[in-house]
A = this chain, B = another copy of it.
Amino acid sequence: MEKKPDFKELTRRERQIMEIVYRLGRAMATDVMEHMSGRPANATVRTLLSVLEEKGYLTHATEKGKYIYSPTVPLTSARRSALDNVLETFFSGAEAAAAISILKKADAKLTEAERKLILEIIEESRKRGR
């Protein structure tokens, strides 16, 4: 596959579908259809899934005659790109605010290992920073 998927080039519906598939991890047309605004028909969604596969964003496995689509860009990579884009677009110079905002929501769910890691980063920041 030569295409380098670029989420900025996705059309409205394509982008909506990509987000749904990432959320679900893998999905059939009916799954995607149920999550879409504007209630497009099943055939509509299938056409769009097919286009996305041609463009290299999705791939499908056939299970019992059914098409199960999944993203071609691995989650770790997609996470990186998506997060970078949001930071660059909305949080330029305020990246820490984004992190803090997330931590405030996630604090009850932090593991000990995560807390330890964050403390290490803070310590490192003290050594280097201001």
Residue numbers of A with Cβ under 8 A of B are: 8-12, 15-16, 19, 22-23, 37, 75, 78-80, 82-83, 85-92, 95-112, 114-115, 117-119, 121-122, 124-126, 128-130
Contact = CB atoms under 8 A, between A and B. Distances in A.
Contacts of A118: 99-100, 103, 118, 122
Nearest to A9: B12
Copies in the complex: 2
A125 B115 contact: yes
By CB atoms of chain B within 10 A, which of A82, A87, A96, A122 has the most? A96
Contacts of A83: 86, 90-91, 98, 101-102
Nearest to A102: B99
Contacts of A79: 90-91, 97-98, 101
A22 to B, nearest CB: 5
Nearest to A38: B9
Contacts of A15: 8, 12, 15
A10 B126 CA distance: 42
